[in-house]
């Protein structure tokens, strides 16, 4: 039982870190903010959640309960902060397009 728990925890931990590596590579490769949001969401969402799930391997209730708190908190906040950034990028793009089109509209 102990060995199985260790193997599961190691798989979760390394799986999470692999996802974070892939996500970071994606953030480095993408040029646009909207395209960068997708790999960034992979890091702050699933990658971190897998790393926190690996707490079961420590067999310590103090660590598992703390990790569960962070798990629930991240489930709520990671999507909210990504939404805030996407919304800001969208509003900025709309404003830029508006400013670009305005001189043409004012011209008689």
Partner 1 sequence: MPDLVASIAFGWATVLLLAGGVVLLRSRDALQRVLALDVLVAIVIALLTALSYLRDASYYIDAALALALLSFTATLVAARYVVRGRPF
**Which residues lie near partner 1 (CB under 8 A)?**
6, 9-10, 13-14, 16-17, 20-21, 23-24, 27-28, 33, 36-37, 40, 43-44, 47-48, 51-52, 54-55, 57-58, 60, 62-63, 65-67, 69-70, 73-74, 77-78, 80-81, 84-85, 87-89, 91-92, 95
CB of 62 to partner 1, least distance (A): 4
The pair of three-digit structure tokens given for residue 74, joined into one six-digit string = 């991240």
Q: How many CB atoms lie within 10 A of CB 26?
A: 17
CB of 99 to partner 1, least distance (A): 13
For residue 78, which of 36, 47, 33 has the smallest C-alpha distance? 47
For residue 85, which of 42, 47, 38 has the smallest C-alpha distance? 38
């Amino acid at each position: 039982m102990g060995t199985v728990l260790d193997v599961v925890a190691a798989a979760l931990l390394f799986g999470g870190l692999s996802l974070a590596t892939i996500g970071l590579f994606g953030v480095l490769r993408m040029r646009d903010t909207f395209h960068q949001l997708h790999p960034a969401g992979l890091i702050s969402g699933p990658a971190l959640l897998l790393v926190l799930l690996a707490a079961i391997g420590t067999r310590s209730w103090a660590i598992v309960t703390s990790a569960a708190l962070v798990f629930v908190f991240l489930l709520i906040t990671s999507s909210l902060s990504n939404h805030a950034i996407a919304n800001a990028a969208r509003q900025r793009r709309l404003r830029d397009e508006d400013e670009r089109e305005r001189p043409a509209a004012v011209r008689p």
